Amino acid sequence: MSFRTTAVDYVEDVSPGNGALPPRARYATSDARTLSLNGSWRFRLSATAGAEDDAFAEPGYDADGWAEVSVPGHWVLQGGGRFGSPAYTNHLYPFPVDPPRVPTENPTGDHLRVFDLPEDWDLDDGGAVLRFDGVESCARVWLNGTDIGEFKGSRLPHEFAVGHLLKTAGNVLAVRVHQWSAGSYLEDQDQWWLPGIFRDVTLLHRPAGAVLDHFVHASYDHAGGLGTLRVDSDVDGRVTVPDLGIDVATGESVTVPVEPWSAETPKLYDGVLATEGERVPLRIGFRTVELADGLIKVNGKAVLFKGVNRHEWHPEKGRALDLESMREDVLLMKRHNINAVRTSHYPPHPAFLDLCDEYGLWVIDECDLETHGFTEQDWRDNPVDDDRWTPALLDRAARMVERDKNHPSVVIWSLGNEAGTGRGLTAMAEWIHGRDASRLVHYEGDVDCRDTDMYSRMYAGHAEVEQIGQRLDGGTHKRRELPFILCEYGHAMGNGPGGIADYQQIFESYDRLQGGFIWEWIDHGVKDERYGFAYGGDFGEELHDGNFVCDGLLFPDRRPSPGLVEYKKVIEPVRIEGDLADGTVRITNRYDFADLSALAFEWSYQVDGETVESGPLSVPVLAPGESADVKLPEPPAAGSGETQWTVRALLAADTAWGPKGHVVGWGQSPVSARRAPSVAPTAGPVSDDRLITLGPASFDARTGALRSVGGVEVTGLRLDVWRATTDNDDGAAWQTDIRYSEVWRKFGLHRMRHRLDGVEAGADALTVRTRVAPAAWEVGLSTVYRWTSDGERLRLTVSVTPEGDWTALPLPRLGIRFGLSGADTDSVTWFGGGPGEAYPDTRAASMVGRWQSTVDGMQTPYVRPQENGARADVRWAELGGLRVEGDPEFWFSARRWTTEQLDAAAHRSDLVPGETVWVHLDHGQHGIGTASCGPGPLRQYYLLAEPTEFSFVFSQAGGPAGS
Ligand code: GAL
């Protein structure tokens, strides 16, 4: 007796499917010819692929007892757990690797939908096409009881001719979706496994004489300013572009003067392809992409990609993204100076590319292909090197290219991601080059660039990228002739990425380096009642990779993280620099195509961080690459404080993506320097049995511990070297570089003991001597706290002398921490870097000024809690009735939990505010780097244990001001 039914053999078949129409270009069809089948569908979940027979597909089947799900959607994200759960792995297949076989446990969702045709559809005139834009991972489809085929290729469209099967009313569409299939072996991207019909389902009326496929060829000759248009169509027709006076037959070329399309100047011309049966709207962008002089050039110019890798993500809907979220992504990118997207690691919902055309983003369109899990068996049996799978690979390549070929924003095709090497990839590249010679081909795994038009790497360190820029990297002859991109860098997991300003500087120094794409755009946190946002393991997965799925520049709810704000500053298209103290500012246009006419400039002048005057600054309309030295006005009469210029570049008028006044770039420069606070030690300590008083402060007489300053109670003030390790401190498990959090924990920096060696009340100072050291080790920090006062203000000088061998052991942080009453501490004001967090290698966006926030507002909500929220270069801060001035400037943070609690938390929901606000005043912080996937901090951002001295001056907030 056999348990396997032939009905499910297709699930494990390496072929791409049966019954679908050849792929073709995607375009907006008029509403009158479109019937959306999105909405509520009847749904039944089975545990295995062959558990149920096909009876449900028959008209008249009674599905009244079934549940319902929304289409588009993933069933595991619906039904409150009734339909299984999401599961996350980075590269491990969550099933035994035995291609093309899949497990018996194969969640299978039967979907049913009954629909009527729109009254005005005349099916005698032509036919109809049923389109699925995305189904994970394999579907079999029946219409009115007829099996019309089955398909794989989750993030690719599949169409079926169905006109002959349709009735005017009561059509029954039945779709059986299997979570696992042979196709799953090709879809091992680092993301949640989310089965379902997750993109639109549409019925399209195709009247006789309608377009089958069409290919818009719109090139630009930059020398002559001319665009050449030719639209090829399977069905003859005419092409009109009214704004250009074009009216030609399909297949005929026409050359006219045009404005070119670029990501910076996304000029689109509306046109129409009219055939006997249909009018197809065209959105034409004229541009020419080529490999010339070893560079990726568009319209004759080399471009610098300031990109991001974008997975599709919504915290509740998964990859079933709505149009508004897609638009929000594009707007957020544009507003943060991003000019390029790699659609990692599959073609996005087609509407996303329409938005990229319209708003202007360079796109690397990547095929739905990754076989990363085979790395665990040295790539043995890798489908991309096994001819049996080549038809499936070619099918995927064709479905991507044919669907997206008419988008001007798409400048590069990518074969896929992390799929090793093999003949199948070569076949894909050859097919793509042959079908579309007007774009370049990318694949990072092709280290010799056998099949590709550019050398691409991920996570290479700064030094190596620089070497590549200098063409000293070796490799095949072909590779050495090619341009370079970092298709992934700056791993934005948790706090970070660090070091991106240093990368940018290298990119800008060598022509061969054409920029990079930050990994990645958005955290894939799943909205979850228990945790706020869930990550891998939160659904009890057998195998998972934890919060590695939360590594984006946006939090899951699309709020920008500090990493995005940093990136915006690092890649700003206008550079404002120079020693502004001499009254001149140097403005550089760093666009590749646009001049600066869309921007207005504004100067402002700050005294002690507060703007005292501002005004417009007139800047010549600079061409790309040009600079000008612009004279600033006479500085306002300054008074005695610290003074500085700030110059901003703003949008001069509303644009499609940003309002007038939106800041595009800025620069700052000091004029007169800050005077460090000084306190003449005129008061001396006075002791009784219990207490020592010194000016406004009281101390415990036995321990020398500070008790209060000017009536504000202070607890637990002491040296602190520990930070709740960041994902980048922790580093990836496969990291060969030192993973600092491991070393720090080994040496006990998270459990330092404080030995009291002496409390000395001298004539003009109270001195407390301690040794701060971890159990089990000889390393220690001899730490002396010296307190002085002028009667009103209290100065603390901390001297730290390392003892033992610290050479291999940088410190996470070095500073003091203390507690204030939580009830009295809420609003926070500071003069220094802000408004957001900064660390030594993530501080480009930290702007010196006077800032206000609250303790809660100073927290950065990383999905997995970790060190966060430090403000850089703080001169002074006020909170909880206390004013603290630094000598020198310090890193400032405050939170309603301890570092130890932060360190122990796995989710935001673990952080429960206590009664104390813990304030950190740090002299130093270790760099952040990107070791969660990539290099750690550069050496210059290490916080080395060295003899160090730093001071703070405490007084009552609102009392006599500092210095
Ligand atoms: C890359 C991979 C991405 C992602 C990233 C780490 O190797 O291409 O998909 O896994 O590492 O987050």
Report the pLDDT averaged over residues 283-290: 98
Q: What residue's CA is closest to ligand 1, atom 4?
A: 190
Residue among 191, 312, 418 whose CB has most ligand 1 atoms within 8 A, to mutate: 418
pLDDT given at position 126 = 76
Distance between Cα 549 and ligand 1 center (Å): 9
Q: Encode pLDDT of 136-171 as tens digits.
A: 999 999 999 999 999 999 999 999 999 999 999 999
Instruction: Read off the pLDDT band of 738 (50, 70, 90).
Output: confident
Q: What residues are in contact with ligand 1 under a 6 Å CB criterion?
A: 90, 189-190, 345, 417-418, 458, 488, 491, 519, 548, 551, 933
pLDDT at 684 over 70: yes
Helix, strand, coil percentages, rounded to 5, for the chain: 15, 40, 45
pLDDT at 811 over 60: yes
Which residue's alpha carbon is at the smallest distance from atom 11 of ligand 1? 933
Respond yes or no: is residue 488 known to be catalytic. Answer: yes
- The answer, yes or no, to whether residue 616 has pLDDT greater than 50, is yes
> Which CA distances in Å does 835 have to 243, 649, 828, 855, 869?
46, 18, 12, 13, 10
pLDDT at 704 over 90: yes
Atom of ligand 1 nearest to the CA of 418: 8
Mean pLDDT along residues 217-226: 98
As a three-state string, the secondary structure of 311-337 is CCCECCCECCCCHHHHHHHHHHHHHCC
Distance 744 CA to ligand 1 centre (A): 26
- The stretch 273-299 carries a mean pLDDT of 97
Pairing of strands 226-233, 214-221: antiparallel
pLDDT digits (tens, 9 = 90+) for 393-430: 999 999 999 999 999 999 999 999 999 999 999 999 99
Burial label, 801 (beta-carbon count in 10 A; 0-12, 13-18, 19+): middle
Residue nearest to atom 10 of ligand 1 (CA): 190
pLDDT for position 3: 47
CA of 507 to the centre of ligand 1 (A): 21
pLDDT of residue 1: 42
What's the distance, Cα to Cα, between the start and end of the chain in Å?
Answer: 91
Report how far ligand 1's centroid is from the alpha carbon of 410 (Å). Answer: 22
- DSSP state, 516? E
Residue 189 Cα: closest atom of ligand 1: 9
Q: How far away, in angstroms, is 823 Cα from ligand 1 center?
A: 44
Q: Which residue out of 488, 572, 837, 867 is catalytically annotated?
A: 488
Q: For 267-280, write each residue's pLDDT tens digit.
A: 999 999 999 999 99
Of ligand 1's listed atoms, the one at least distance from the Cα of 548 is: 12
Q: How many beta carbons lie within 10 A of that of residue 115, not counting itself? A: 16
Atom of ligand 1 lying closest to residue 90 CA? 10
Q: Is position 418 annotated as part of the catalytic site?
A: yes
pLDDT at position 123 is 82
Mean pLDDT of 361-370: 99
Counting from 1 in the atom list of ligand 1, the atom nearest the Cα of 417 is 8
Confidence of residue 963 (pLDDT cuts 50, 70, 90): very low
Q: Do 512 and 294 meet the contact criterion of CB atoms below 8 Å apart?
A: yes
For residue 471, what are the CA distances in angstroms to 347, 477, 479, 505, 745?
A: 32, 11, 10, 17, 40
Q: What percent of the chain has pLDDT over 70?
A: 98
Calpha distance 180→68 (Å, rounded)? 22
* Interval 603-631 mean pLDDT: 96
Per cent of the chain over pLDDT 90 is 94
- Ligand 1 mutation target, pool 91, 92, 187, 190, most atoms within 8 A of CB: 190
Atom of ligand 1 nearest to the CA of 344: 9
Report which of residues 32 and 517 the model is more confident about.
517
What is residue 581's predicted lDDT score, i.e. its pLDDT? 67
C-alpha 374 – ligand 1 centre gap (Å): 15
Q: What is the pLDDT of residues 756-800, one digit of tens each?
A: 999 999 999 999 999 999 999 999 999 999 999 999 999 999 999
710 alpha carbon to ligand 1 midpoint, in Å? 53
Question: How deeply is 690 buried, as exposed, middle or buried, from its count of CB atoms within 10 A (0-12, 13-18, 19+)?
Answer: exposed
**DSSP assignment of 785-813, as one string?**
EEEEESSS-EEEEEEEEEES--TT---SE
**188, 519, 930: which to mutate for ligand 1, most atoms within 8 A of CB?**
519
Beta bridge partners of 4: none
Residue nearest to atom 9 of ligand 1 (CA): 190
pLDDT (tens digit, 9 = 90+) per residue, 576-596? 998 766 789 999 999 999 999
Quickly list H helices, 731-850.
Answer: 740-746
pLDDT digits (tens, 9 = 90+) for 325-364: 999 999 999 999 999 999 999 999 999 999 999 999 999 9
Q: Which domains does the chain have, with CATH numbers?
A: 6-206 (2.60.120.260), 214-290 (2.60.40.10), 303-569 (3.20.20.80), 572-672 (2.60.40.10), 691-747+775-829+847-956 (2.70.98.10)
Q: How far is CA 419 from CA 342, 387, 444, in A?
A: 17, 15, 9
Q: Which residue owns the Cα nearest ligand 1 atom 3?
A: 190
Q: Considering only CA atoms, which residue is closest to atom 6 of ligand 1?
A: 933
Is 0.75 surpassed by the pTM of this model?
yes
Query: What string of DSSP letters covers 162-213?
Result: -GGG--SS-EEEEEEEES--GGGGGB--SEEE--EE-S-EEEEEE-TT----
Among 90, 444, 930, say which to mutate for ligand 1: greatest number of ligand atoms within 8 Å of CB: 90
pLDDT classification of 367: cutoffs 50, 70, 90: very high
Distance 911 CA to ligand 1 centre (A): 29
Place of tokens 């800041």: 663
| Mean pLDDT (the chain, rounded) | 96
User: Which member of 187, 402, 418, 466 is catalytic?
Assistant: 418
Owner of token pair 């961080």: 609
Q: What is the DSSP code (8-state) at residue 693?
A: E
Which residues contact residue 410 at a Cβ distance below 8 angstroms, ignoring those fewer than 6 apart? 353, 356, 363, 364, 365, 404, 439
The Å distance, Cα 551 to ligand 1 centre, comes to 10
Q: Does residue 6 have a pLDDT over 50?
A: no
Q: Which atom of ligand 1 is nearest to the CA of 933?
A: 6
pLDDT of 125 strictly over 90 = no
